[in-house]
Amino acid sequence: MSHIMKKLAILVGGGPAPGINSVIGAATIRSILSGADVVGIRDGFKWIMDGNIDHVTPLTIEAVSRIHFRGGSYIGISRANPTKDEQHLENCVISLLRLNVDKLITIGGDDTAFSACKLEERSRGRIRVVHVPKTIDNDLNLPADICTFGYQTARHIGVQIVNNLMVDAQTTSRWYFVITMGRKAGHLALGIGKAAGATLTIIPEEFNGKASFKKIVDTLVGAIIKRLSDGRQDGVAVLAEGLVEGMEPHDLQEMVGVERDAHDNIRIAEINFGEILKIRVQEGLKKYNVKATVVTKNIGYELRCADAIPYDMEYTRDLGYCAAKFLDEGGNAVMVTIQDGRFKPLPFTEILDPVTGKTKLRMVDINSEAYKIARRYMIRLRKDDFDDPHALAKFAAVAGVSIDQFREAFEYLVENEPSPIHLFAR
């Protein structure tokens, strides 16, 4: 009886991110050169969780050698979740075994990492699994100075878009509310806002897990009034979409038709958060007889299938190579990353929350000095504004109210604003 060589399979889950094809290409080339056959499982877990093994693409060096230059996913993608049904999880294992697969590389974010972990457990040693962390949100639990792949490209493209909007805003005397992707964390919004020099940026971490819709609205109203006091009718506010995830239930009730995906995440793209926010901000301004032209812009789909910049191309080729090499050498049940120029495997047991079982997420550290400095130089109301009678008088004049009325309406926004620091030693 002839020996049948085992195969490596590659699967992509979640949403697109620049660099997916670099991982696929490098992992395929490394595995084939070590003597393994490689197949791509099309459309994530979608087909194999139903026991369907027809949607498979053989991967060869010739086919993948140049795909790293392109965005998207060469083998498709989906958000199908096999962990919600024990039979679906079993079907995944059986499907892979029917394909003669004993090694699997999954590429995805926190939900795909969780599915990879559960699939490895279910296989009981028959399939070894390595996960490659992918998300433009940059929120996976990697070492502090390591990005998830795709983030740098998404930020790069996002900054270009916001820069163009800032020029348009100044030219046409209007405000833009830019909603960026970032379901659980504000890394992408903050990265774009800081790099572009946006007028202000608002992220979920500022609200300790519960975003008050009123506070977001008042922050924007206050920023517009402050900007007007300096003679500027324009501005660009960058807001993370994850603000919606953290909203109080009574705030969410106003957003009719909230839908959830297979992983129970709110389909934020289906909620017109920007338009709802625009209406409320304009209502808030109207109370002070202040008018502002506001345009909303969602950016995310423009970012996540962009061609990777060289940083992400190099980074993801390294990740793909290391994932394949780790499996070839007998490794199993880890998420791969690179720290200080060296490959570092993170065991599934370390990246999963022991209470929820879900993948741990990395949030923006709002107590860091870098965050405080970034926030201080954004045009929002600050505590030191309220300590400056001249500044406060200008704001109150624009709003058409007394200083005491303005203070009463907005001072609650800045109670925890950090005090000024000296950037240069004297």
Under 8 Å CB-to-CB from 4, ≥6 apart: which residues? 100
Catalytic annotation present for 251 = no
How many other CB atoms are found less than 10 A from the CB of residue 412? Answer: 11
Which tokens belong to 348? 């599934």
Residue 131: name the closest of 111, 105, 94 by CA.
Answer: 105
CA distance 205 to 185: 7
* Sheet-wide strand order for 7-12: 56-59, 37-41, 7-12, 101-108, 128-133, 334-339, 342-347
Read off the tokens for 404. Answer: 């005491």
3-state secondary structure of 321: helix
Q: Is 330 helix (H, G, I), strand (E, B) or coil?
A: coil
CA distance 178 to 184: 17
Per-residue b or e along 32-63, where b marks 16 or more CB atoms closer than 10 Å to that residue's CB: beeebbbbbbbbbbbbbbeeebeebeebeeeb
Sign of CA dihedral 177, 182, 186, 188: negative
Nearest to residue 337, comparing CAs of 91, 140, 161? 140
Q: What are phi and psi of 103, to 5 degrees?
A: -135, 135
Q: Around Cβ 294, how many Cβ atoms within 10 Å?
A: 21
Catalytic residue among 137, 139, 312, 385: 137
Residue 170, SS3 per DSSP: helix
Spacing of C-alpha 282 from chain mean position: 28
Tracing tokens 């022991």 back to the chain, one arrives at: 354
Rg, C-alpha atoms of the chain:
24
Q: Tell me how far apart the alpha carbons of residues 359 and 338 are, in angstroms, rounded to a whole number.
A: 18
By annotation, the residues acting in catalysis are 137
